[in-house]
Homo-oligomer: A and B are copies of this chain.
Amino acid sequence: MKRIGIIGAAGYTGEELLKILSKHNGVQVAFATSERRGGVGVAQLFPHLPMYNDLKLCTADEALGRDVELVFTCLHAGESVKWAKKFLDRGVRVIDLGSDFRFKTPAAYDEWYNMRHPHPELLCDAVYGLTEWYRDDVREAKVVGNPGCYPTSVLLPLLPFLRAGLVADAPIIVDAKSGVSGAGKKPGETTHFVSVNENLSPYKVGRVHRHVGEMEKEMRAFGGGMNIVFSPHLTPLTRGMLSTIYFQLAGQKSRDELFAVVDDAYANEPFVHILRDRLPNMKMAQNSNFCFIGLVKPAGVNQVILFSAIDNLGKGASAQAVQNMNCMLGFEETKGLL
């Protein structure tokens, strides 16, 4: 039984980690922190998790001294890294579900997050936790930057085509739809039920959302120098993400040849499923670590449309984080996730 900790357990990703880990029989949650709710029982805050009957939330400071092998940090940009640093200094490995370890260079972080990275020296050792593409590095990593939800949903279908040189040098259109839990737990006008219900709203459209930088960084790593045009939309549901991706094909490929590209990339992957006879939808992926990928090649244009469905809190956050933890701690990669 390996001991792990969660920094920032009262938010949606922390809650989801607690839920997933309660069914993982190889680890034990040694602590779960919340600055505002220190002293409150986890099962009191989350009645649906009565199995944590004996665990009380504590502050991150109180947690520092406890003996754990790995810590999940689930805080905002600039906050996660502060606690990550302290645990790394104590020899504890870190998976950050925030956004502080997703870039390799401080310059990129500064540009997209509009602040100085507090510990730029940590970035060079950080591994980008898109497990299917970096699992060898993840296994050895001291610190993993768990990918953002949109980048996960876009990179998984897109990278095989970039790697194969099949994407023409033209802007890639990403029209993405997310459930509201992706906007976080803090109440505000945009997440009020009445604002979201019976509504659907684009936001941060173009090349301004922070995830554009994260996606393009990975695209570059696989030979893709083109830009992304990104339109995220807030949709009236709690959990789910569907990305519709349009790219211009380089050269000529049949539908079967295109499917072969993703089939080959993910043939042995337990969490990535290619759909041939139907298109993905959000519901397929809900409450799971799955990513479902679909592909359409319309007649009369040399374009490809990719579809991918994930759960923004699952493969898009906490479940992928557990997948990474399994790699790091030597468990079977699917443990607790199937």
Contact = CB atoms under 8 A, between A and B. Distances in A.
A279 interface: yes
A237 B198 contact: yes
A215 to B, nearest CB: 14
A205 B128 CA distance: 33
A50 interface: yes
Copies in the complex: 4
Interface string A218-242: 0000000001010101011111101
Nearest to A309: B200
Contacts of A298: 205-208, 229
Contact of A279 (B180, B201, B207): B201
A115 interface: no
A22 B44 CA distance: 29
Interface in A260-304: 273, 275, 277-288, 290, 292, 294, 296-301, 303
A175 interface: yes
Contacts of A48: 283-286, 288, 290
Contacts of A205: 279, 296, 298, 305, 307
Nearest to A298: B206
A107 interface: no
A134 interface: no
Contact of A180 (B197, B202, B203): B197
Contacts of A200: 177, 235, 237, 240, 242, 281-282
A246 B174 CA distance: 10
Given A235-B200, A305-B229, A192 B193 contact: yes
Contact of A244 (B175, B208, B237): B175
A301 B242 contact: no
Contact of A231 (B47, B244, B285): B244
A114 interface: no
Contacts of A296: 205-206
Nearest to A299: B207
